[in-house]
């Protein structure tokens, strides 16, 4: 089967059909109703409308602040947070059932997957941890770091926390 041929005659015919449909009573109201319906489902979260939270000591070492950015409702399952690590602060070892993306926004950080080297991460870097990959991330010893963390929920869960990263592991 070949590609469809678009002739001037076919394009003019299609345009005429659209004009005829648009001239029928109620067509304009249908467009208004559809537009209103779309607009009413939009949601804007204003800057400063969501409270910052301290990163729980059970999951972080050092001073960590988590600012919620977004959490899509069903059927979507993605969420994002802006996480700020003070110098030396870091997450515990953890995995994500559907993976995690980090977008570094400021500072100098470190990230490590189990068995791999500690790697520097800088503003503009995008880090992807595949589903189930054991890892940690945080600030460098003398420089703070912030990133946007994006994860998806699977069966109501987006992270599995494990033990804290020891000082010896962090200083490797």
Residues 4-38: pLDDT tens digits?
555 555 545 555 554 455 556 655 555 455 555 55
**Cβ 85 vs Cβ 61: under 8 Å:** no
**pTM of the predicted structure, to 2 decimals:** 0.75
Q: What is the predicted pLDDT for the residue at 73?
A: 80
* β-bridge mates for residue 104, sequence order: 147
pLDDT band (50, 70, 90) for residue 77: very high
Distance CA 123, CA 74 (A): 31
**What is the tens place of the pLDDT at every residue in 42-68?**
888 888 888 999 999 999 999 999 999
- Exposed, middle or buried: residue 45 (CB in 10 Å: 0-12, 13-18, 19+)? exposed
Instruction: For 141, list phi and psi in degrees, rounded to 5.
Output: -60, -30
Distance CA 76, CA 72 (A): 6
pLDDT band (50, 70, 90) for residue 72: confident
Q: What is the predicted pLDDT for the residue at 76?
A: 87
Residue 135 CA to its chain's centroid (Å)? 18
User: What contacts 66, CB < 8 A, 6 or more positions away?
Assistant: 52, 53, 54, 55, 81, 82, 83
């Amino acid at each position: 089967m070949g590609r469809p041929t678009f002739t001037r005659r076919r394009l003019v015919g299609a345009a005429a059909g659209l004009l005829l449909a648009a001239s029928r009573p109620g067509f304009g109201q249908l467009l208004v109703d559809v537009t209103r319906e779309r607009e009413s489902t939009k949601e804007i979260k204003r800057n400063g409308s969501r409270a910052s939270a301290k990163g729980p000591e059970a999951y972080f070492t050092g001073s960590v602040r988590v600012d919620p950015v977004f959490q899509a409702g069903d059927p979507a399952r993605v969420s994002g947070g802006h996480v700020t690590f003070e110098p030396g602060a870091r997450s515990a070892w953890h995995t994500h059932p559907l993976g995690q993306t980090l977008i570094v926004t400021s500072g100098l950080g470190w990230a490590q997957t189990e068995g791999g080297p500690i790697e520097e991460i800088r503003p503009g870097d995008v880090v992807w941890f595949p589903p189930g990959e054991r890892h940690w991330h945080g600030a460098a010893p003398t420089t703070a770091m912030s990133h946007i963390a994006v994860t998806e929920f699977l069966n109501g869960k987006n992270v599995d926390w494990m033990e804290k990263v020891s000082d010896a592991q962090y200083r490797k």
